Each structure stands twice: as structure tokens, then as C-alpha cells.
Amino acid sequence: MSFPVQIPIRVPCPPGACICEHDALLADSMADQRILRLTREEEKRLLQRLEQITSLQDLRHVEQRMHEQLGIRVRIEHGASEVRTVRGIQIEVLPMRGLCSKTRQAIPAAIRRGMERTPEVAFELLDEGGLFG
């Protein structure tokens, strides 16, 4: 006798507090529901991991895993003008149904904290665009 596997899913945000469309995503059986696996506890673990990045390769690996496991796409690039601090690096989490707006803000903030802790990551990112040669 087999029992269905229960995977914990994210608790919906309070009504009116977010535009994540959690209920609509649950109702749509054809939608990509991977993002619902990102519970609040898992989100905390993800943010801690992003703060602990050690290299650009490590950051790219975490980006790839976020996309594979949750469907989250992150765009990281140096700004159009001069970059003096990590604030000048553009980090954007692309919108998707089911992704809480607070999470969309927390991910770039965690990446920036990681770059502030390990500035070599920011230097590698800028060099990726040909800044240093």
C-alpha cells in the first residue's frame, strides 16, 4: 500500500500584503509550482547560502540551482554607469507567479551582503564584463 508523499509548501501571504498569487498558482494544475517548495524556513537557508558565497563561480552555481529547483531567475550585471560599491551592481529577481515580493527583495539584498563580505565576487563580476582587461 502506497501513501502519497506530502511535500511542505509555502504558507500564503496575508490577503492584500503581497501580489504573489499563491492561491491562483495552487489552483492552476498546469502551472510551474516549484516555487511553492520555498517555505519560509527554506528561504532563510537560501538567503544564508547567498550571503556565504565565496566566488563568482559559486554564485553562478547557486543561481543555476535556484532556477532548476524553484524556477527563480536572477539577473546580475554591472550597472550602466560607474560602479563604486556593490550597490552599483544591478541584481534583479525576475517576477513570477508564486514568488513573494518580500522574497524578491530579500534575494538581491543577500547577494549584496555576500559581495560586501567577499569583495572578490564583485571584482570577478565586473571583470566578467571586461572591466579589468
In the chain, % of residues over pLDDT 70: 87
Q: Scan for cell 527563480, then name that residue.
A: 72
**Per-domain residue ranges for the chain?**
32-128
pLDDT at 2: 56
Q: What is the pLDDT of residues 44-69, one digit of tens each?
A: 999 999 999 999 999 999 999 999 99
Question: Average pLDDT of the chain?
Answer: 87
**What average pLDDT does the segment 111-129 reach?**
89
What integer pLDDT is reported at residue 5 of this predicted model? Answer: 57
Q: Which residue has the higher pLDDT, 44 or 2?
A: 44
Q: What is the pLDDT of residue 83?
A: 64
C-alpha cell at 71: 524556477
Q: Are 109 and 73 in contact (CB under 8 A)?
A: no
Q: Which helix (H) or strand (E) holds 90?
A: strand 89-93
